[in-house]
Amino acid sequence: MGTVIAQEGFRKRRKIRKQKSETTSLCKLCRTVIIKNMGLVRLRRARKELSLPRTIYYFLWSASSFAEFEIQSDNLSRDMRVHRFYPTRSLLDNSKVVLKCIDVKSASASRSLLRTVKTWTEVDHRNIMKVLLCFTEKDTVGIVLEPFPKSLHQLIRDYHKDGVKLCERLLWKIIYQICDGLLYLQRRKIVPPDIETRTLSLTNNGDILLHNLLVYTPSETELNVCVDVSGSFSGIFVAPERIKGQSYSTNQDSWSLGCVVYELMHLEPAFSLSKGESMFEVLRNIVNGVLPRKLYEVDCYSSDVVTLVVSCLMKEPRLRPTTQSVFDFAKEQLRSTRKT
């Protein structure tokens, strides 16, 4: 009698497992069909535009796996290898995306890291790279981001090679959009990624895209020294007080913005190694408030641009313009150039 009851119990448990498996398979099939027809980008928009039940959206958002993506391992840059983000194709909707991998198990302060992931997956601004999906597989968090086009650093190298300068209106548009993205983050008390020409991209429409901080998380370095693909030094974008070990403040964004604008004007970094110069000498010049040598050597930009860069590169943080004031000034410049 006991054997019969045990066998009956086994058959019931097997039937339940089979039903659960079929339900799971059906859910996965539905999810695949939805994403194939909707696309990852539209799925992100649906969260904001459609009143989908939270459980449904969460399933669509977080039930991904690494098997759904084809990593394109050819021609990986140094940044991609160091920070573990890869150009990828989604096998569900065939879209090109960026896949970021974060090892939660080995990462220090993983709770803080997961809070950062949560914060940046919710960032939604037209000039900041968006997270399309976020999922966990074993001890690795997979973050799927919209692809970012050529960085300003790459664009500047191309312009320098071809002997081409950016027009001033595009320069003001870049400044305006960088500030717009920074103000969005500042209002939400979110610390942005280091502002420099590598963390900014320019779309085909001429719009700026500030890279999502998760691309460079976790960071192994505190001082943002820019190194190119060949491993050679190509600039420092951090403010004097940061070099001296002070914590982040929004005034440092103004300094970094000044460095970016200088590089866009002169097609070379504001603070880089000259022949026979050491890294220590460059850092000392920054801390002492020594301005870049070529700052005033401009022939195709107005004095307003130069004045802005000078004010952003002031040694004393309190003397630099706020992000809001730079935003307002750039907005006014765009209006005036439109009239002419």
What is the number of H-type helices and E-type strands within the chain? 12, 9
pLDDT above 90 coverage of the chain, percent: 43
Cα–Cα distance for residue pair 101/93, rounded to 1 Å: 20
Please give the average per-residue pLDDT across 33-48, as a whole number: 72
Cα–Cα distance for residue pair 301/18, rounded to 1 Å: 71
Question: From residue 9, how far is each of 1, 140, 224, 301, 314 by CA, in Å?
Answer: 12, 37, 63, 82, 77
Q: What is the pLDDT of residue 216?
A: 85
Per the structure block, which two tokens stand in for 170? 């595009």
Please give the average per-residue pLDDT across 163-170, as a whole number: 92
pLDDT in tens, 41-75: 777 776 666 666 667 666 776 778 888 888 766 66
The pTM assigned to this predicted structure is: 0.83
pLDDT band at 269 (very low <50, low <70, confident <90, very high): very high
Answer yes or no: is pLDDT of 229 > 60: no
Cα–Cα distance for residue pair 7/11, rounded to 1 Å: 6
pLDDT in tens, 270-308: 998 777 778 888 899 999 999 998 999 888 899 999 999
Answer yes or no: is pLDDT of 327 > 60: yes
Please give the average per-residue pLDDT across 308-337, as a whole number: 95
CA 168 to chain centre: 25
